[in-house]
């Protein structure tokens, strides 16, 4: 054979090897999990549960960052409703009131040596337009029962979870069930405005008591119908971490003057260049989160997409370009940059001396507040634009926080939760994911390594639009199935043995944060561009 033949044979063998590697990785990509049998759930009257959710909706428990603005009568009325609806629960469980409106119920387990578990939700809701032309089919605080749904603010976010947790615990008490592990029910009152006085205070109290939790379940994910692209089956999204949060204030302060005689650099121009530079220099994107999530969906993912995800070493750049086109998937791939507020000027013929912009960042796990600050400082690269926290005196506070630790998916707790979901909702797929918003669960990561975010509700895109929007509603079927799920969860998770417990959570050290720069001298110069 001539030398060219040897070269061609070598290339052919290399190509065959490459194809075999790609195929092997593709076929080995899905996470393998044991099959589960459908759960034998108790008969639950979903309409009756929905009616009780409707009663809770009638209380306007609107959250405000300023505690003095809260209408305490609405929260106290809701608490009295709980006592009226669930007398046995209130006679057998210990109830504690935290910061006037948050609630912590303790259901003592038979084995105090085992770490407790905690189910949480929040009582507060966001405001709703109550005017006749608001577009609501039923008044937002009516809790009306109509067309197979309960309507109103909180039916999805998340008075439904509060009521269904109380329903589940009450049903178990009626059966004479005794949990092995102590069960906490924690209901904060200000999740919509940071959770600082509710969930954070409850977590602080438990930590001060030396409580190490084995399992925490909060909102954050749900069962999404036709939501994951190219996957037809409903997918139960289990949040295992959530992004961090930071808002920075960008400011310029230069000589103003008459608009007829503008200088080379104006306050608005400098600030606009800074914001444009941030949008043009996005944070690096990563595929790990989406790759991990899709690996749980197995063969439901189309073969070509699965092949790309299983072989990111070869197809990674191509896949990134495709996924970054969608804001939904892009948010799971990078720390996001969102200019949200711009203030400058008072008259059309006057050059303002000052301009101010607020830019919001949602941080990926692996990035820190310090990382974001330093990158923003580097990208802007002009001393005439100063940085400061949008709220508060420090970057990391109740107004800014780092991403939560990632809860393990190889823990007994996650595996049990995953199996419960698939048994209660036959035919539903499950997948871990990154919560791109914020929940109260972040306050419990310091005392619980297994903190998950999932509400057992089947949601369409139309249902999703009702969360913080108009015509928020919950179906009778969802209400009944939620109670069944929580009954199963309380039974199964509370019965886990000591082998499921993990070593105590180590305290996360405070991140060193940069000192804020003093106001610069007003030396006008062009904005530096990357």
Q: Label residue 450 left, alpha or beta by phi (over 0 means left) and psi (-120 to 50 means alpha).
A: beta
Sort strands 215-218 and 117-122 into parallel, antiparallel or unpaired: parallel
Token pair, residue 447, equals 């005392």
Token pair, residue 8, equals 């061609």
Question: For residues 429 and 422, what is the distance between their CA atoms, to the nearest angstrom?
Answer: 7
Residues whose CB falls within 8 Å of the CB of residue 282, separated by 6 or more in sequence, listed in order = 334, 337
Question: For residues 262 and 252, what is the distance between their CA atoms, to the nearest angstrom?
Answer: 16
DSSP state of 165: H
Q: C-alpha distances in angstroms, 145 versus 131, 137, 152, 270, 411?
A: 20, 12, 10, 55, 41
- What sign does the CA torsion over 396, 398, 402, 407 have? positive
Question: For residues 364 and 435, what is the distance between their CA atoms, to the nearest angstrom?
Answer: 10
Active site residues: 124, 191
Token pair, residue 476, equals 């009778």
* Among the listed residues 441, 402, 416, the one whose alpha carbon sits nearest the alpha carbon of residue 240: 441
* Among the listed residues 495, 477, 444, the one whose alpha carbon sits nearest the alpha carbon of residue 211: 444
CA angle 337, 274, 251 (to 5 degrees): 100
Question: For residues 155 and 141, what is the distance between their CA atoms, to the nearest angstrom?
Answer: 10
Written as one string, the DSSP assignment of 312-346 is: HHHHHHHHHHHHTTSHHHHHTTS-EEEEEEEEE-S
Token pair, residue 497, equals 């043995």
Measured N-to-C along each axis, helices 72-85 and 46-57 cross at an angle, to the nearest 10 degrees, of 150
Question: For residues 121 and 104, what is the distance between their CA atoms, to the nearest angstrom?
Answer: 11
Cβ atoms of 289 and 435 closer than 8 Å = no
């Amino acid at each position: 054979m001539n030398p060219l033949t040897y070269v061609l044979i070598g290339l052919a063998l290399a190509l065959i090897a490459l194809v075999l590697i790609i195929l092997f990785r593709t076929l080995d990509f899905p996470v393998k999990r044991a099959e589960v049998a459908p759960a034998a759930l108790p008969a639950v009257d979903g309409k009756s549960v929905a009616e009780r959710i409707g009663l809770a909706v009638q209380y306007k428990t609107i959250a405000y960052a300023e505690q003095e603005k809260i209408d305490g009568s609405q929260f106290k009325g809701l608490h009295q409703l709980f006592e009226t609806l669930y007398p046995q629960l209130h006679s057998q469980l210990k109830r504690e009131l935290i910061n006037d409106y948050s609630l912590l119920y303790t259901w003592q387990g038979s084995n105090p040596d085992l770490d407790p578990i905690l189910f949480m939700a929040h009582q507060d809701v966001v405001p709703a337009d109550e005017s006749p032309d608001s577009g609501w089919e039923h008044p937002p605080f009516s809790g009306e029962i109509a067309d197979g749904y309960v309507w109103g603010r909180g039916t999805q976010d998340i008075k439904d979870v509060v009521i269904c947790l109380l329903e589940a615990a009450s049903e178990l008490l009626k059966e004479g069930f005794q949990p092995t592990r102590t069960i906490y029910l924690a209901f904060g009152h200000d999740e919509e405005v940071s959770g600082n006085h509710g969930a954070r205070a409850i977590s602080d109290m438990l930590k001060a008591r030396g409580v190490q939790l084995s399992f925490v379940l909060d909102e954050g994910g749900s069962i999404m119908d036709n939501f994951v692209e190219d996957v037809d089956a409903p997918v139960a999204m289990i949040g295992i971490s959530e992004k961090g949060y930071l808002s920075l204030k960008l400011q310029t302060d230069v000589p103003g003057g008459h608009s007829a005689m503008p200088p080379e650099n104006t306050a608005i121009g400098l600030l606009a260049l800074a914001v444009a530079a941030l949008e043009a220099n996005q944070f690096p994107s990563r595929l790990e989160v989406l790759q991990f999530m899709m690996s749980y969906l197995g063969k439901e993912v189309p073969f070509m997409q699965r092949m790309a995800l299983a072989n990111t070493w070869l197809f990674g750049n191509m896949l990134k370009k495709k996924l970054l086109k969608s804001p939904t998937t892009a948010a799971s791939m990078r720390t996001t940059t969102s200019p949200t507020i711009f203030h400058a000027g008072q008259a059309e013929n006057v050059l303002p001396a000052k301009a101010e912009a607020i830019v919001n960042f949602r941080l990926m796990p692996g990035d820190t507040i310090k990382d974001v600050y330093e990158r923003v400082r580097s990208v802007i690269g002009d001393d005439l634009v100063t940085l400061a926290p949008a709220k508060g005196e420090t970057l990391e506070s109740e107004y800014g926080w780092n991403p939560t630790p990632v809860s393990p998916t190889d823990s007994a707790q996650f595996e049990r939760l995953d199996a419960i979901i698939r048994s209660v909702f036959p035919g539903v797929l499950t997948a871990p994911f990154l919560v791109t918003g914020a929940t109260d669960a972040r306050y419990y990561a310091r005392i619980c390594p297994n903190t998950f975010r999932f509400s057992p509700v089947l949601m369409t895109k139309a249902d999703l639009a009702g969360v913080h929007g108009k015509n928020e509603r919950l179906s009778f079927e969802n209400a009944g199935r939620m109670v069944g799920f929580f009954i199963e969860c309380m039974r199964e998770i509370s019965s886990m043995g000591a082998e499921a417990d993990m070593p105590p959570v180590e305290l996360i050290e405070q991140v060193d944060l940069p000192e804020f720069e003093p106001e610069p001298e007003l030396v006008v110069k062009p904005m530096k561009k990357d």
